[in-house]
């Protein structure tokens, strides 16, 4: 098995450590499979009562999925290998969400995209001063997948819509304030926290609550009234109009940010969150997101967004359609439409 994921047992605790530091621990298909296999084995092992999920070294917890691999698939195999990646990654997300033993995710560092997908299903989510949380997909013509529709649509007010559209980064204190993280600890206390959990895995909640970790004030709290007011609509055109009509510096900055994002995937995200909010089953959410991913992967904006932002770093994507008005309801309907029965996503 690849060394990109380190899998250990410490007494009654399973330990999954992401170990791809040069890529900020971005997930490959092999990493998803290794994590899923370990979780399946421990689910049936009465000696394992809890799981720790962290990263071995470096700045990231997990910076996302393997974007270069996905772009290569979109350009060279019609999206076949990319859809396989999404399918199995989403199975891992669902497996973690429904896992019966508590998972403790240590979100110490960059936690974006696919990293959010493996952190948010954990029962305990620990942020630190190093945490940088974001779902930046609309900037590369993708959408906040890996369960993002479910998680973001259940945040306070319109925070989820704001994060989905703008790709805004939250620090650890803001994650804790918003409920994205369940606990906040200084990073220099994580080793002690893990040791205490390994020693007494039946007391995870108590251990994390007892340890002294008071987050700084969350800057986000001061912006929530503006977010709720200006991002109130599920119409991208109405959000843009609200930002343009507001004379504050904050609104101008967010309007300029939205101007850099793919209009297609901004509209996809707004519909995705609205539909996710009405669902009662995480599996239904993942089935919807797989339908979207299967279509968005091979539409023009994804390969172009990755080229402009990640590959060439020119930051000049030519979106198609180029404007919100150009993204029709018919196009959105085609992106959200059911797949042929044999191609639909299914849980493990």
145 is catalytic: yes
Would you give the DSSP letter of residue 10? Answer: E
Structure tokens at 1: 């098995």
Token pair belonging to 236: 């991208």
Instruction: Name the catalytic one among 65, 79, 109, 167.
Output: 65
Choose the catalytic residue: 4, 137, 174, 289: 137
Rounded Cα distance, 85 and 70, in Å: 8
Closest by alpha carbon to 265, among 311, 339, 319?
319
Q: Which of 145, 171, 254, 289 is catalytic?
A: 145
65 is catalytic: yes
DSSP, residue by residue, 113-131? THHHHHHTTSSEEEE-TT-
Identified catalytic residue from 60, 64, 113, 114? 114
Integer CA distances (angstroms), 200 to 6, 39, 66, 104, 185, in order: 22, 20, 36, 13, 18
- Rounded distance, CA 115 to CA 136, Å? 12
Catalytic residue list contains 206: no
* C-beta separation of 35 from 92 below 8 A: yes
Do 84 and 29 meet the contact criterion of CB atoms below 8 Å apart? yes
Q: Looking at the annotation, which residues are catalytic? A: 65, 114, 137, 145
């Amino acid at each position: 098995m690849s060394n990109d994921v380190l899998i250990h047992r410490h007494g009654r605790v399973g330990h999954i450590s992401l170990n791809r530091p040069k890529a900020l621990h971005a997930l490959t298909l092999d990493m998803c499979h290794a994590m899923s296999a370990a979780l399946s084995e421990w689910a049936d092992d009465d000696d394992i009562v809890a799981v720790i999920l962290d990263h071995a070294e470096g700045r990231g917890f997990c910076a996302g999925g393997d974007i270069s691999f996905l772009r290569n698939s979109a350009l060279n195999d019609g999206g076949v290998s990319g859809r396989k990646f999404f399918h199995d990654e989403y199975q891992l997300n669902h497996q973690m969400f429904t896992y019966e033993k508590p998972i403790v995710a240590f979100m110490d560092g960059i936690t974006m995209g696919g990293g959010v997908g493996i952190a948010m299903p954990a029962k305990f989510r620990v942020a630190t001063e190093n945490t940088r949380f974001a779902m930046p997909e609309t900037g590369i013509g993708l959408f906040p997948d890996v369960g993002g529709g479910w998680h973001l649509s259940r945040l306070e007010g319109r925070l989820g819509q704001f994060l989905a559209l703008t790709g805004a980064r939250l620090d650890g204190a803001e994650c804790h304030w918003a409920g994205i993280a369940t606990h906040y600890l200084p990073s220099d206390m994580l080793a002690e926290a893990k040791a205490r959990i390994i020693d007494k895995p039946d007391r995870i909640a108590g251990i994390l609550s007892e340890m002294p970790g008071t987050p700084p004030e969350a800057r986000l709290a001061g912006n929530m009234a503006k977010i709720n007011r200006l991002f109130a609509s599920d119409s991208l055109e109405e959000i843009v109009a609200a930002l343009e009509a507001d004379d504050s510096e904050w609104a101008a900055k967010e309007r300029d940010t939205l101007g850099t994002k793919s209009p297609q995937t901004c509209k996809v995200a707004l519909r995705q969150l609205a539909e996710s909010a009405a669902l009662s089953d995480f599996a239904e959410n993942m089935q919807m997101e797989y339908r979207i991913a299967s279509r968005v992967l091979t539409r023009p904006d994804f390969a172009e967004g990755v080229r402009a932002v990640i590959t060439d770093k020119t930051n000049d994507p030519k979106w198609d359609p180029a404007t919100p008005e150009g993204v029709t309801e018919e196009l959105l309907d085609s992106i959200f439409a059911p797949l042929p029965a044999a191609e639909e996503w299914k849980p493990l």
